[in-house]
């Protein structure tokens, strides 16, 4: 009887692990259902296996900002704020695959590849490109900055490793074996040479403060600094006046 119960328990656990493996993308990516803000202009970037949408605020000149949003974000919602912080920069906001106008399915490999393709297109027109990655997007931005000559890097509510955060949320499952999209920013931070700013929320309920501090320590000496936005939560950081000031600075 005990053996039978043990087999049932092991079977149920195995089924739960299998379900977690196949459903993991739905835990990471939450494409918004409808647009929240109109973009001044949109473009389509053709990439292998998909066409991704890019919301743009054009500006002539040598300076541009590329923005990678959070896992449930309509990136066009950040246009007014970025317009205020970077009035003389052209703005380019990437919609991940499967997000509001982009075809295909999102994944770490696809998102990074699309970001690199967009960077290569932008840098040909604007020589100085600043990258901003928020939450999930911080893991994309740091990978691009480790492979391309970016002017500046800004990481908003960033993490050291998405895999480690997922492991903490699911402590009874072998997440490190099951997870496909690990977003291990710690692997890429040591290769970044651009001046880097980490913006942390004082009361971040999603990303542990320890994870952000660990990421800060991964960068080469003198490359990265961190600012904590007082009173902010993970999803409210951009509503704080200090956030706008930090971006402008």
pLDDT tens, N- to C-terminus, the chain (249 residues): 556 555 554 555 555 555 555 566 767 898 988 887 788 899 999 999 999 999 999 999 999 999 999 999 999 999 999 999 999 999 999 999 999 999 999 999 999 999 999 999 999 999 999 999 999 999 999 999 999 999 999 999 999 998 888 777 766 656 666 678 999 999 999 999 999 999 999 999 999 999 999 999 999 999 999 999 999 999 999 999 999 999 987
Closest CA to 76 of 58, 57, 89: 57
Q: Are 117 and 47 in contact (CB under 8 A)?
A: yes
d(CA 13, CA 61): 57
What pLDDT, on a 0 to 100 scale, did the predictor assign at position 15? 56
With residue 44 as reference, give the H or E element that holds it.
strand 41-47
Q: How many helices (H) and strands (E) does the chain have?
A: 9, 8
Task: Identify the sign of the CA torsion 114, 151, 232, 211.
Answer: positive
Q: Are 91 and 56 in contact (CB under 8 A)?
A: yes
Residue with tokens 């409210």, as numbered in its chain: 236
Long-range contacts of 132-135 (CB under 8 A, 24+ apart): 132/65, 132/66, 132/67, 132/68, 132/82, 132/156, 132/247, 133/67, 133/68, 133/158, 134/67, 134/68, 134/69, 134/70, 134/73, 134/78, 134/238, 135/69, 135/70, 135/71, 135/73, 135/206, 135/207, 135/234
Closest CA to 137 of 174, 92, 175: 92
pTM metric for this prediction: 0.92
Local structure of 76: helix, strand or coil: helix
With residue 152 as reference, give the H or E element that holds it.
strand 152-156
Bridge-based pairing of strands 90-94 and 50-57 is antiparallel
- On the CB side of 135, how many CA atoms lie within 13 Å of its CA? 20
What pLDDT, on a 0 to 100 scale, did the predictor assign at position 49? 93
Residue 2 to residues 5, 7, 12, 153, 217, Cα–Cα distance (Å): 5, 9, 15, 57, 49
């Amino acid at each position: 009887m005990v053996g039978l119960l043990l087999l049932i328990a092991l079977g149920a656990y195995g089924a739960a692990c299998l379900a977690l493996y196949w459903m993991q993308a739905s835990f990471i990516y939450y494409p918004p259902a409808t647009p929240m803000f109109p973009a001044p202009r949109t473009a389509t970037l053709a990439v292998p296996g998909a066409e991704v949408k890019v919301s743009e605020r054009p500006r002539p000149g040598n300076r541009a900002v590329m923005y990678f949003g959070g896992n449930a974000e309509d990136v066009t919602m950040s246009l007014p704020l970025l317009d205020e912080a970077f009035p003389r920069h052209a703005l380019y906001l990437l919609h991940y695959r499967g997000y509001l106008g982009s075809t295909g399915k999102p994944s770490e490999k696809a998102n990074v590849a699309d970001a690199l393709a967009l960077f290569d297109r932008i840098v040909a027109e604007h020589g100085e490109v600043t990258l901003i990655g928020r939450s999930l997007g911080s893991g994309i931005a740091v990978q691009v900055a480790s492979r391309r000559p970016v002017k500046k890097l800004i990481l908003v509510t960033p993490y050291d490793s998405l895999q480690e955060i997922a492991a903490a949320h699911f402590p009874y499952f072998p997440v490190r074996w099951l997870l496909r999209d690990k977003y291990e920013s710690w692997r890429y931070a040591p290769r970044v040479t651009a001046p880097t700013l980490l913006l942390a929320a004082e009361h971040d309920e999603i990303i542990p403060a320890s994870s952000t501090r660990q990421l800060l320590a991964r960068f080469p000496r003198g490359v990265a600094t961190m600012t904590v936005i007082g009173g902010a939560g993970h999803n409210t950081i951009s509503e704080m006046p200090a956030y706008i000031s930090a971006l402008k600075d």
